[in-house]
Structure formats: C-alpha cells, structure tokens
C-alpha cells in the first residue's frame, strides 16, 4: 500500500534542541524565580512515588503539546514555542519545571512563564500495619469490585445495545449532520440486536462471576498472608510481596480510616497550592491550575472543596482529575461519628469562585469507573449522556465536565495511561493552561477522535484475539497438532540455516536443536504448549502496539489524519486475519469433537458471530461524547 507523505514529526526534537541551547539563559526576559504567569500543581495517585516521578510524567507531554500548539503557523520563527529555563528533580529544594511560552495571542507575539510543581503526599504519613491493611482491604475490595462490575457491564452491554437501539429510530440527534437514518441502517441495527444482546449479556455474566471469584480469593488470601508471615521459613519469601501490596493499597486505607494521617496528606497538597498561588500573585492574567490522579484527586477535592481559603486572589482557576477515585474513596471516616453523605458536586458548586472542573476517565479504568455525581442515579444518568442521545437540559444532573477517553482498551493499564493519551487528555489540559481555543474545529475534532478510538479499539481486539488464539493452540488437540507441525518445520528451517552457515565458514557443527524439550511423539509438551502460547501473545501484542504507535504519531504530532487512516486499514486487515484464524481453529475443533449439528452448530455460529462482531466493532461503535459542566441554576454549563 502506498502511504501518504506526512510532515516530519519534530516537536520533541525542536523543544529539546531549544532547551539545550537556552536553558537558564536570557535572565532578563524571565520574571523573578518565584514568579510565573501560569502555575500548575500535579498530584500523584495511590502508591509510593519517587521524587519528580509525577512531575516528569506530566510535565514532559504537556510541554511538548504546548510547544506543538503554539508553533502552528510559526514553524519558521524560532522565537515561538517552549523554552525550558529551570528543571529540578534532585537535591533538597522543591521539584520544579519552569519554562517560557511564546505564542500568538490576538495577533501579538506574547511571552509568558510557566511553573509546574508536584505535591508528593505519599511520604507525609506513616503507613498502616499489615494487619490493619488486611482487615480493611477484605471489606473494601467488595465496594471496589461492585463499582467495577457496574461500570464494565455498562461498557460491554449497555453501550452497544444503546447504540443499536438508537440506530433503529428514524430521527437523529441534533449534532448529527444527517436529517434521518437510512432505512438499511435501521433494519441492520434491529437484526444485530438479536445476537448482540445474548452475547454481551453472557460476557457480563462471565465478568461478574470472575469478579466474585476475585473477591473471595482476596478475602481468603489476605488473612492467610498474615498467618504465613509468622512462619520464619516463609516470611523471608513473602515479606517483599506483602510490602509491595501494603505500599500500593495501604494509602487508600490510611485515607479512609486514619484521620490524622489523612490530614497530613491534605496538608502537603494545601501547601503546594499555596506556593503556586504566591507564584502567580501580581502577574498579568494569572492561571492557577491543579491536576490530580486517582487517590490524589480525592485528596485534592477534599482540600479545594472543604478546606482551602478561596477568599484571596488569585483564585484556583481549574481543577482537572484523571482516573479520579473521588467517588470510590469518599471522605475520611471518624469512628466516633456517624457516616455523613459524600456530595462532592454540591461542595464544588458551593464554592465562592467559579472553579472549572474537568474529569477525565478511561473507558476501562476500574478505579474511576465513570462520571462523578452526588448519587448513583446521577452517575448513571451522566454516563448515559456520554453514550446515549442528548436529553432535555432539565433532566441532566449537576456535575463536572466529563471526558470519557480511550487509552489502552485494557483494564490493567487504562488507569496508568492518562499522560500517554495526548489527543484526549494532554491536549485539552494544555489548551486550558495557555488559553488556546478549546479544541480543533468540530468536524476535525470528531474526525481525529473517531480515528483515535478506532485504533485503540483495534489494538484491544487484536490483543484479546491473540490471547484466545494462544489458549486455543495450547488446549485444543487439533490446534496442538498444527502447532507441533509448525514448530517442527521452524526447527528444521533453523537447523538448515545453521548448518549452511557453518558450511560457509568451514566449521562443522551439529545443527539439530533440542526438539524433545518442545515436542514428544509428534505432540507439543506442556513446555511446548506454554512456549508457543507465549510466542503468539508476544508477537500479536508487539504488532498491535507498533501499529497503534503509527496511528498515534500521525494523529497527535504529524496532523495527518489520512496517514492514520491508512494505518487503521492495515490494522483492520491484520485484525481480520487474526480473528479468522482464531475462529476457524475453534470451529474446526468443535466439528471434530461434536460434529456439525445440534448444540455444536449453535456454538459454531456463536463463534462466527463473535468474531464478526469483534472485527467490525472498532468501525461502528459510538465514540462517547464529552459532556459540559452542569451547574444547575447557578451558571450556564461550560467546558
């Protein structure tokens, strides 16, 4: 396939080159060291963080994106863009990144200073004892799993069913450019509901069972670990594992159960925001923003909504939460007091300042688990707004601007991947910091988002298909025989190449490889099954990731949607081949075992339908929309 030419991707190179040339230079241009026009405080999530880790995680993509945005249309003028003036992540002082941002504002070249710092609350308190973490975690895990089950069932079942039901209606949402839906689409959507409803319903039931099993295992394992630690022979082996577990989730238990230590967490965030406010005080057009992840979002929300003094200018202008565990963690509990309801939206709207709140949550993030609202019904209603058709404004519950994003399409990685999602997370935060218009023109933004979501979903489908194919090869006898023949053929080819190379250099070698480790009697050994399965997963994952990076680069940095589309087509071809191979092996094994009639035929059809649905899902699934702040009668909604 002929690839469309794209402009070179240069923001990272140009920014780093200018930084190396001008770092700590031109002191007359910069404000005093403790002053800045724009100040951003980043707050980390659960778990212990090294100094500068969160700062670098967010400062690098944000500065690269800001540089990319302000240099548009001024690529030939070296004065436009970002120049780093100070970077400190070691030593005794505060971790900080300072930069100059030169941009075009209302037709005039303007230079402003940017200051980014981090609030590291993870070292501000003593961790809970192992026994306390085990006792608390055994009960808390059910709350987390329940939220996870609800959120994933909405994503797997309600989202596609809502889309298909919506497509059966003649009228379209106001933002759709069509005046009505074609009759063919309405009929096809109605027919698709027949297999989709039972298929997605079965997946939801399987997920629910799996999560119940996980909960039971956690309940049994946590107390059992405490007993095993008392045995000297096992203590040395298990202690490092337990320390990692306690370090990762112990912060959550401290926040919920230990009021004094929780106050120490909040004090760190409070102090860092105070420092940022002093930095922008007296500056022209000051911007004071806070960006918080996971548990850090819950800690910061408590500070901003309940404790911080907003009476003194300059005020905090924006609060961005990513993967926020605000609703999962709630408030700190005092054992002598009755549990009070947690209403973060009401507290936010009660502030004396118009603080903008943007909440970013990944589709498969198990900890944020969707939108933020004061009640479960409100959260579900806000979730429906992101996927369903627009409702009357009076039916919308209050809440922050909600940004559902696609990052990795995997529950195990979505929560930690927000800083890598440039198009849907980093870009809007960067625009808000420097005052660039909110987003691309609507048509272009929709096009970029559609391609981004297609690529992320395609990667997720390919990865899942690779795992299913690996399991099929490892467990199905028919697939095992084919894999054994493939391994023998590869072994023979490698042996021939080695022998040929040895002949060229005149040194005789034995070309036979230790085949018996992988194959015995023409069948794969258990180690052979494991090796082949691991190789399949590794290759599929590598290819899917490489293709995803190609699309990501074209959309985020090269401004080349056409090139991204061509890579998406390549993804589609490979995804089709992978799904076809997987479905063919499963169907062939069913035919070999049970023949072609009865329930076997139903299962074979179900496999074919599932593979077809998996192939087309990246193309037809609805892209969830961003919904604006909803403040009720206080102000007009805004993003």
Residue spans of the domains in the chain: they are: 17-22+34-126+257-439, 132-171+181-254, 456-620
CA-CA distance, 473 to 528, in Å (whole number)?
A: 11
CATH superfamily of 17-22+34-126+257-439: Alpha/Beta hydrolase fold, catalytic domain (3.40.50.1820)
Determine contact, residues 606/199, Cβ cutoff 8 Å: yes
pLDDT digits (tens, 9 = 90+) for 277-289: 999 888 888 899 9
The mean pLDDT of the chain is: 77
Alpha helices in 366-441 (DSSP H): 376-387, 427-434
| Cis-peptide, bond into residue 314, ω within 30° of zero | yes
Q: Name, of 197-201, 518-522, 588-592, the range with top average pLDDT.
A: 197-201
Q: How far apart are CA 457 and CA 410, in angstroms?
A: 10
Q: Are 626 and 402 in contact (CB under 8 A)?
A: yes
> What six digits make up the tokens of 121?
């609350």
Q: So what's the pLDDT on residue 242?
A: 67
Tokens representing residue 302 in the block: 């408590």
pLDDT score, position 319: 94
Is 361 strand, coil or helix? strand
* pLDDT surpasses 60 at 424: yes
255 near 329, Cβ under 8 Å?
yes
pTM: 0.83
Instruction: Compare 66 and 505 and report the one with higher pLDDT.
Output: 66
For residue 334, the model assigns a pLDDT of 61
| 356 has a pLDDT exceeding 70 | yes
Nearest-5° Cα angle at 157, 154 to 160? 105
pLDDT in tens, 446-477: 788 888 888 888 888 888 888 888 888 777 66
* Arithmetic mean of pLDDT, 116-135: 75
Q: What is the pLDDT of residue 284?
A: 84
pLDDT exceeds cutoff 80 at 1: no
How confident is the model over 200-249, as pLDDT tens digits?
888 889 888 888 888 887 777 766 766 666 676 666 666 666 666 666 66
pLDDT digits (tens, 9 = 90+) for 253-276: 777 778 888 888 888 899 899 999
């Amino acid at each position: 396939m002929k690839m469309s030419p794209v402009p070179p991707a240069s923001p990272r190179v140009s920014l780093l080159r200018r930084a190396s040339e001008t770092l700590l230079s031109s002191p007359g241009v910069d404000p005093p060291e403790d002053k800045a026009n724009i100040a951003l405080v980043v707050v980390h999530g659960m778990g212990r963080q090294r100094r500068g880790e969160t700062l670098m995680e967010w400062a690098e993509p944000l500065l690269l994106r800001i540089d990319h945005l302000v240099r548009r249309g001024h690529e030939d003028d070296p004065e436009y863009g970002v120049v780093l003036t100070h970077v400190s992540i070691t030593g005794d002082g505060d971790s900080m990144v300072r930069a100059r941002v030169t941009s075009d504002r209302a037709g005039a070249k303007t230079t402003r200073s940017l200051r980014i710092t981090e609030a590291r609350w993870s070292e501000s308190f003593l961790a809970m004892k192992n026994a306390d973490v085990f006792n608390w975690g055994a009960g808390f895990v059910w709350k987390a799993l329940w939220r996870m089950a609800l959120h994933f069932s909405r994503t797997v079942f309600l989202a596609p069913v809502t889309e298909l039901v919506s497509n059966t209606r003649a009228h379209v949402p106001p933002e759709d450019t069509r005046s009505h839906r074609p009759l063919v689409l309405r009929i096809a959507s109605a027919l698709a509901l027949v297999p989709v409803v039972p298929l997605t319903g079965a997946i939801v039931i399987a997920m629910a069972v799996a999560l119940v099993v996980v909960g039971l295992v956690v309940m049994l394992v946590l107390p059992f670990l405490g007993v095993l630690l008392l045995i000297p022979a096992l203590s040395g082996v298990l202690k490092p594992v337990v320390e990692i577990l306690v370090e990762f989730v112990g912060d959550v238990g401290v926040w919920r159960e230990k009021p004094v230590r929780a106050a120490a967490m909040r004090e760190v965030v409070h102090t860092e925001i105070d420092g940022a406010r002093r930095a922008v005080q007296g500056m022209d057009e000051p911007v004071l923003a806070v960006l918080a992840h996971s548990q850090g979002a819950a800690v910061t929300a408590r500070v901003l909504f309940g404790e911080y003094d907003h009476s003194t200018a300059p005020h905090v202008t924006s609060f961005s939460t990513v993967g926020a565990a605000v609703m999962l963690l709630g408030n700190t509990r005092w054992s002598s007091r009755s549990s009070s309801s947690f209403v973060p939206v009401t507290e936010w709207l009660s502030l004396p300042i118009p603080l903008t709140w943007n909440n970013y949550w990944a589709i498969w993030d198990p900890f944020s688990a969707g939108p933020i609202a004061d009640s479960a019904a409100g959260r579900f209603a806000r979730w429906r707004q992101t996927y369903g058709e627009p409702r009357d404004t009076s039916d919308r519950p209050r809440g922050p601007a909600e940004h559902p994003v696609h990052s990795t399409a995997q529950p195990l990685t979505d929560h930690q991947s927000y800083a890598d999602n440039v198009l849907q997370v980093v870009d809007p935060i960067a625009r808000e910091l420097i005052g660039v218009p909110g987003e691309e023109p609507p048509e272009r933004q929709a096009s970029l988002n559609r391609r981004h979501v297609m690529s992320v979903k395609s990667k997720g489908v390919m990865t899942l298909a690779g795992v299913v194919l690996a399991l099929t090869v490892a467990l199905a006898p028919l697939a095992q025989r084919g894999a054994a023949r493939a391994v023998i053929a590869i072994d023979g080819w490698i042996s021939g190449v080695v022998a040929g190379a040895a002949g060229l250099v005149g040194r005789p070698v034995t070309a036979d490889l230790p085949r018996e480790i992988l194959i015995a009697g023409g069948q794969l050994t258990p180690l052979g099954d494991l090796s082949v399965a691991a190789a399949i997963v590794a290759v599929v994952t590598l290819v899917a990731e490489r293709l995803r990076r190609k699309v990501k680069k074209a959309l985020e940095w090269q401004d080349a949607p056409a090139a991204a589309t061509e890579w998406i087509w390549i993804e589609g071809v490979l995804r089709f081949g992978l799904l076809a191979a997987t479905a063919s092996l499963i169907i062939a094994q069913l035919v070999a075992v049970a023949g072609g009639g009865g329930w076997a035929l139903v299962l074979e059809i179900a496999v074919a339908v599932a593979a077809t649905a998996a192939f087309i899902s990246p193309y037809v699934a609805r892209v969830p929309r961003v919904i604006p702040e909803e403040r009720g009668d206080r102000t007009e909604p805004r993003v």
